[in-house]
Amino acid sequence: MNLLGQSPIFVEALRLLHRFARHDVPVLIQGETGTGKELASRLVHYQSARAERPFIPVNCGALPESLIENELFGHERGAYTDARTATQGLVSLADGGTLFLDEVDALSPKAQVVLLRFMQDQSYRPIGCARDRRANVRVITAANRNLEDLVREGGFRLDLLFRVKVLSVDLPPLRDRRGDIRLLAQHFLDECVRRQSQIAKRFHPETIAWMERHDWPGNVRELENFVQRQCLLSDGEEVRYPTARAALPADPTVLAGYKAARAAALAHFDRGFLTALLARAGGNVTHAAREAGKERRSLGRMLKKYGIRPHDFRLRA
């Protein structure tokens, strides 16, 4: 994923990020999954005065509540059973640099209290330690959900919101910057060709038109995965999607009557729908069936009918 784009809404977000880099205060980056929040946080870090110091990313959604203090602040030797050596926490590792807390909206109430206590004066106490320590850390947080809405719902502390949201920016979803889709898709295609040592490739105009119509609920990350998959599955120089297309005559009157024309049209639709569905699901039939609102067995019969193999849509290294 790259922070590339020319649409006005995205250019404005980039302008704010560059400006934030000059101010050594907490930053909150909000946006849907796949919009590039970690990339944005790295931009702020590496253009700041802390660029030569560590950038430590933390996925808050993956931190068990029972281990939050240990992960962030570390522990002393003998602090608990099997603690044979002292261990630095992530805060200590980020000293002088930036601590990036992704999915901060996923923190439990207890974990929010732990984070609030640290952000008040940047002091902390490793587990088993008798005295407080301090860390000079810039905290950048990211959230998939709007934290102000979560505060109103009782899912996030208002005092913590004030601490993390000194400066903030919302990254726009890809559907709001459709003019950037072609630019991003070509960049990802060129990157895939370079990494996989393949021949130069280009998109068929119908593929570009399809990409610019699609809503991309997974945003730039979904677009990147889609382009990489199509790049690997395309044998020639031209990337065409859907990869399996029905041979439907331009004029259905050449077919032997209405029933045949209707059957061919339905088959054309089914193939296009199924290939698009499997591409979004990465070849996972269970996920595809759930998205389509069909039983897995029923979807499997349709795939078999049209000779569409889920394996062909699974991303291979």
Residue 79's pLDDT is 60
Cα angle 284, 285, 288 (rounded to 5 degrees) comes to: 90
Where does residue 66 rank: exposed (0-12), middle (13-18), buried (19+ CB within 10 A)?
exposed
Span 204-252, pLDDT tens digits? 999 999 999 999 999 999 999 999 989 988 888 899 886 544 334 444 4
Q: Can you give the pLDDT of all 317 residues of the chain as single tens digits?
A: 468 999 999 999 999 999 999 999 999 999 999 999 999 999 999 999 999 999 999 999 888 887 888 888 877 775 666 666 778 889 999 999 999 999 999 999 988 999 999 999 998 888 877 788 889 999 999 999 999 999 999 999 999 999 999 999 999 999 999 999 999 999 999 999 998 888 899 999 999 999 999 999 999 999 999 999 899 888 888 998 865 443 344 444 444 566 666 776 787 778 878 877 877 777 888 888 888 888 888 888 888 888 888 876 765 43
Residue 78's pLDDT is 55
Residue 261's pLDDT is 63
Residue 309's pLDDT is 81
Residue 128's pLDDT is 75
**Is the Cβ–Cβ distance between 101 and 141 less than 8 Å?**
yes
Task: Report the greatest alpha carbon distance in the chain.
Answer: 88
Please state, rounded to an integer, the average pLDDT across all residues of the chain.
86
Domain covering 176-313: architecture: Orthogonal Bundle (1.10)
Q: How far apart are CA 94 and CA 25, in angstroms?
A: 15
The conformation of residue 237, written as its DSSP 8-state character, comes to S
Place of tokens 């698009």: 276
Residue 49's pLDDT is 96
List beta partners, residue 239. Answer: 203
Q: What is the CATH superfamily name and number for domain 8-172?
A: P-loop containing nucleotide triphosphate hydrolases (3.40.50.300)
**Is the Cβ–Cβ distance between 269 and 302 less than 8 Å?**
no
**Is the Cβ–Cβ distance between 85 and 102 less than 8 Å?**
no
What phi-psi label fits residue 291: left (phi over 0), alpha (psi between -120 and 50 degrees) or beta?
A: alpha
Cβ neighbours, 10 Å, residue 32? 20
* The model's pTM: 0.73
**Is the Cβ–Cβ distance between 202 and 240 less than 8 Å?**
no
**Is the Cβ–Cβ distance between 77 and 86 less than 8 Å?**
yes
User: Please, where are the H alpha helices in the chain?
Assistant: 8-20, 37-46, 68-73, 90-93, 109-121, 147-153, 158-164, 181-196, 205-213, 219-233, 258-280, 285-292, 296-305
Where does residue 42 rank: exposed (0-12), middle (13-18), buried (19+ CB within 10 A)?
middle
Span 152-174, pLDDT tens digits? 999 999 999 999 999 999 999 99
Residue 64's pLDDT is 81
Span 55-66, pLDDT tens digits? 999 999 888 887
Residue 39's pLDDT is 95
Residue 83's pLDDT is 65
Hey, where are the domains in the chain?
8-172, 176-313
